[in-house]
Amino acid sequence: GESVGLHLPTLSVQEGDNSIINCAYSNSASDYFIWYKQESGKGPQFIIDIRSNMDKRQGQRVTVLLNKTVKHLSLQIAATQPGDSAVYFCAENNQGAQKLVFGQGTRLTINP
Amino acid sequence: EADIYQTPRYLVIGTGKKITLECSQTMGHDKMYWYQQDPGMELHLIHYSYGVNSTEKGDLSSESTVSRIRTEHFPLTLESARPSHTSQYLCASSQRGRAFFGQGTRLTVV
């Protein structure tokens, strides 16, 4: 069935360094991908999205890369700050199914 | 930011009680969803709706039920709460694939 998974459950980086969070998806029919950030006690918050007709999209301090050949998605956070500490989820959507499927999440910890 | 609201934020209730978790959005979105999430774990879709009078079960089996009588309102009901229902419940609505989430309801059944 559909599944979206993340390679690492936890990631620890130094403040100021760049962070890279990876995600693998299995449904080749998925055509829309989103990264969410979830802080403790809160609902997931939209960070950035990308459609399958693109391979890269940039936002403020964040970049999402999509490699459809190997079904891989990554989120890059530049100059990581303490406020970036959270669990990050990738999600995929098949427009035909119109359901968002989430992966397991990666907990990002920032070391001072 | 999105206008989607869930109440209550926290609920502790005894086994066997009937409960309703409320979710409302003011964005006029047709699609709404309920996810169940254990702390730090992935989100599991338990119910969704494409519009008024439309409800479907999600990928994770759930003993809860939902209704969609109005576009802005998507309540979730548990007829008889059990300790296995202890979890966080997240409501979302979407437009063009992008989902907006509420703050969640953390339910504890004792």
pLDDT in tens, B5-44: 999 999 999 999 999 999 999 999 999 999 999 877 889 9
The answer, yes or no, to whether residue B96 has pLDDT greater than 90, is: no
Q: What contacts B8, CB < 8 A, 6 or more positions away?
A: B21, B22, B105
DSSP single-letter state for residue B73: B
What are the chain B neighbours of A102 within 8 Å (beta carbons)?
35, 42-44
What are the chain A neighbours of B45 within 8 Å (beta carbons)?
99-101
User: Could you say which of B94, B98, B102 has the minimum Cβ distance to residue A43?
Assistant: B102
Give the pLDDT score at B74. 98
A102 versus B91: which is more confidently predicted?
Answer: B91
Alpha-carbon distance B14 to nearest alpha carbon in chain A (angstroms): 22
pLDDT digits (tens, 9 = 90+) for B59-85: 887 899 999 999 999 999 999 999 999
Size of interface A-B (CB pairs under 8 A): 61
pLDDT digits (tens, 9 = 90+) for A41-84: 899 999 999 999 999 999 999 999 999 999 999 999 999 999 99
**Which residues are paired to A58 by β-bridges?**
A63
- Cβ contact, residue pair B40, A102, below 8 Å: no
The answer, yes or no, to whether residue B2 has pLDDT greater than 70, is: no
Separation of CA B11 from chain center: 14
A69 versus B1: which is more confidently predicted?
Answer: A69
The answer, yes or no, to whether residue A7 has pLDDT greater than 50, is: no
**Confidence tier at A4 by pLDDT (50, 70, 90):** low
User: Could you say which of A45, A87, A101 has the minimum Cβ distance to residue B40?
Assistant: A87
Note whether B61 contacts A: Cβ–Cβ < 8 A: no
Note whether A34 contacts B: Cβ–Cβ < 8 A: yes
Give contacts of A 68-97 with B, CB under 8 A.
Answer: 87, 89, 91, 93, 95
Q: What contacts A30, CB < 8 A, 6 or more positions away?
A: A2, A52, A92, A93, A94, A101
CB-side neighbour CA atoms (13 Å) of B103: 8
The DSSP string of chain A is ---EE-S-SEEEEETTS-EEEEEEE--TT--EEEEEEE-TTS--EEEEEEETT-SEEE-SSEEEEEETTTTEEEEEESS--GGG-EEEEEEEEETTTTEEEE---EEEEEE-
Radius of gyration of chain B (CA): 13
**Confidence tier at A3 by pLDDT (50, 70, 90):** very low
Give the pLDDT score at B59. 82
